[in-house]
Amino acid sequence: MADLLSSCHTGRPLHSITELYRPRNAWTLRLKSAADLTCKFPLKALISRRSRPPTRQRTVYATAAPVSREIDDQAASGSKQFPVESSSKSKKVMVIGGDGYCGWATALHLSSKGYEVAIVDNLVRRLFDHQLGLSSLTPISSIHDRIRRWKSLTGKSIDLFIGDVCDFEFLAEAFISYEPNSVVHFGEQRSAPYSMIDRSRAVFTQHNNVIGTLNVLFAIKEFAEECHLVKLGTMGEYGTPNIDIEEGYITITHNGRTDTLPYPKQASSFYHLSKVHDSNNIAFTCKAWGIRATDLNQGVVYGVRTDETEMHDELCNRFDYDGVFGTALNRFCVQAAVGHPLTVYGKGGQTRGYLDIRDTVQCVELAIANPAKPGEFRVFNQFTEQFSVNDLASLVTKAGAKLGLEVQALSVPNPRVEAEEHYYNAKHTKLMELGLQPHLLSDSLLDSLLNFAVRFRDRVDTAQIMPSVSWKKIGVKPRTVAA
Ligand SMILES: O=c1ccn([C@@H]2O[C@H](COP(=O)(O)OP(=O)(O)O[C@H]3O[C@H](CS(=O)(=O)O)[C@@H](O)[C@H](O)[C@H]3O)[C@@H](O)[C@H]2O)c(=O)[nH]1
């Protein structure tokens, strides 16, 4: 904890979140690499000696503290029992990053659909806010209160493993004790601007994301080889090529020979690049070890409410509007609500795929319910509609006017290095074929998002709105001030 406080104080980014939860030298056995450990000590045997019998609800900390049933017991009284679908018994899903924006909504959705759910999270997203002086538009409860409230409302338990997937021993223990059928991996540093603050944040992002995913792949190989990996990738892996974007693969004829190859990747931040590296590692392990995996190349997510999160204030999701973690449409709604000009970066012709958070949770459910085959590396483009930044600005301006808000769009110098006018046409049919029923961005949806922002506008810190992370100015000196 001393480390945590000093990190918050100095703004020093952590190289690994494990630093927070485990004093140095606390383990007699430090894992340098899985291969090291496997040859010196039989890892399965080592961990099975330490593991506990499965329990209905667990909270396991990185240091393998005793199992706690406290949340269950406190919450069980007076709960409304939802029917559990019979097939759920064998459907155990581990949601890595289940305390974050997409992860929390997904964990609840899967739980409500009858899956057994365990959240694995190191809570580092909350720490980033402390370090940078940021805050969600919406007040969010602790993960413990969230899970307790869910249990009291629905009777459904969510297991909790608090720790870092970069710490393989922790991850191995979570896998062995939980025995997941599917792993949904949201547990990555997901902000492009965060990864461009300074050298150490760039290194943190790539280390955290790439090594975390590599550890998940090793854990599947070693402990759960049938387990289906559903990995959150990004549409940003493709960049903005001047040809149509396919779903993962493109068939090319070159010098008279034809092959179907991974679609070219042109990511444009250290964050987006980390996802490219992940995709390569996953594709390789599918081939080499027969892992089954689905890479969900997700677009920009908007919205905040899902059927489950709106059941109670304590289930409320986070809503980022700042220049580091806030994404385009959500930011514009908050800006409109507080009378701040909409921050269109550069010419505003940047076009991306977008989707409602209610579709994120639906897509993940569809991927889990229709798993990839052993050895298959499946790629789905996960978005429902394309918009340019200018499109979004004019939609928000119109919706704002209906609510009596005076909204203006302002072109601000683009802090990023990206094409501001370009061709963009990305395929997104595979999830539709599996049955996705999209929530498209209608007037009424935009009205409700704006109303939501208006409801919480007193919580907005307008100093966090303008972008302050520059792709070109990134340097080696640690930036300790609010980004
Ligand atoms: O106030 C703003 C904010 C953003 N933009 C522009 O809007 C576009 C999208 O930016 P964003 O911040 O909404 O989204 P991005 O940085 O691309 O990242 C987000 O969306 C990605 C999907 S995608 O964009 O790569 O398809 C996810 O992978 C990330 O985790 C998520 O943070 C960019 O061209 C950006 O320059 C503005 O013009 N004004």
Query: Can you read off the two tokens belonging to residue 5?
Result: 């406080």
CA angle 13, 16, 20 (to 5 degrees): 85
Note whether residue 50 is domain-resident. no
pLDDT for the residue 435: 98
Residue 337: pLDDT over 80: yes
Q: What is the mean pLDDT of residues 132-155?
A: 98
For residue 44, which amino acid is it?
K
Which residue's structure tokens are 């068939």?
251
pTM: 0.87
Note whether residue 258 is domain-resident. yes
The Cα 196–Cα 468 span in angstroms is 10
Note whether residue 18 is domain-resident. no
Residue 42 vs residue 76, higher pLDDT = 76
Q: What is the ipTM of this complex?
A: 0.99
At 479, is the pLDDT very low, low, confident or very high (cuts 50, 70, 90)? confident
DSSP element (H, E) containing 95: strand 92-96
Residue 45: pLDDT over 50: no
Which residue's structure tokens are 């992002």?
205
Query: Does 353 contact ligand 1 (Cβ within 6 A)?
Result: yes
Note whether residue 58 is domain-resident. no
Work out the burial of residue 56: count CB atoms within 10 Å of its CB; fewer than 13 is exposed, 13-18 middle, 19 or more buried.
Answer: exposed
The Cα 271–Cα 142 span in angstroms is 26
For the chain, the domain total comes to 1
Q: What is the pLDDT of residues 269-316, one digit of tens each?
A: 999 999 999 999 999 999 999 999 999 999 999 999 999 999 999 999
pLDDT for the residue 481: 56
Q: How far is the CA of 305 from the centre of ligand 1 (A)?
A: 20
Query: Does 205 contact ligand 1 (Cβ within 6 A)?
Result: no
CA angle 135, 139, 142 (to 5 degrees): 95
Phi–psi pair at 441, nearest 5 degrees: -75, 90
pLDDT for the residue 16: 46
Note whether residue 57 is domain-resident. no
Residue 30: pLDDT over 80: no
DSSP 26-48: --SS--S-HHHHHHHS-HHHHHH
Query: Does 344 contact ligand 1 (Cβ within 6 A)?
Result: yes
Domain of residue 367: give its range. 92-464
Query: Does 191 contact ligand 1 (Cβ within 6 A)?
Result: yes
Residue 476: pLDDT over 80: yes
Residue 97 and residue 105 in contact, taking contact as beta carbons nearer than 8 Å: no
Which residue's structure tokens are 């958070």?
357
pLDDT for the residue 200: 97
Note whether residue 295 is domain-resident. yes
Q: Which atom of ligand 1 is nearest to the CA of 416?
A: 36
Q: Quote the longest CA-to-CA distance of the chain.
A: 70
End-to-end CA distance of the chain: 23
Query: Can you read off the two tokens belonging to residue 428?
Result: 């997104």
Query: Does 299 contact ligand 1 (Cβ within 6 A)?
Result: yes
- What is the distance of C-alpha 422 from the center of its chain? 27
Q: Which residues have a catalytic role annotated? A: 234, 271, 275
Q: How far is the CA of 300 from the centre of ligand 1 (A)?
A: 6
CATH of residue 304's domain is: 3.40.50.720
The Cα 326–Cα 337 span in angstroms is 15
Note whether residue 160 is domain-resident. yes
pLDDT for the residue 277: 98
Pocket test for ligand 1, best of 101, 238, 327 (most atoms within 8 A of CB): 327
Percent of all residues in the chain with a pLDDT value above 70, rounded to a whole number: 81
The protein residue whose alpha carbon is closest to atom 25 in ligand 1 is 236
Query: Does 416 contact ligand 1 (Cβ within 6 A)?
Result: yes
Q: What is the pLDDT of residues 146-179, one digit of tens each?
A: 999 999 999 999 999 999 999 999 999 999 999 9
Note whether residue 194 is domain-resident. yes
Q: What is the pLDDT of residues 343-381, one digit of tens each?
A: 999 999 999 999 999 999 999 999 999 999 999 999 999
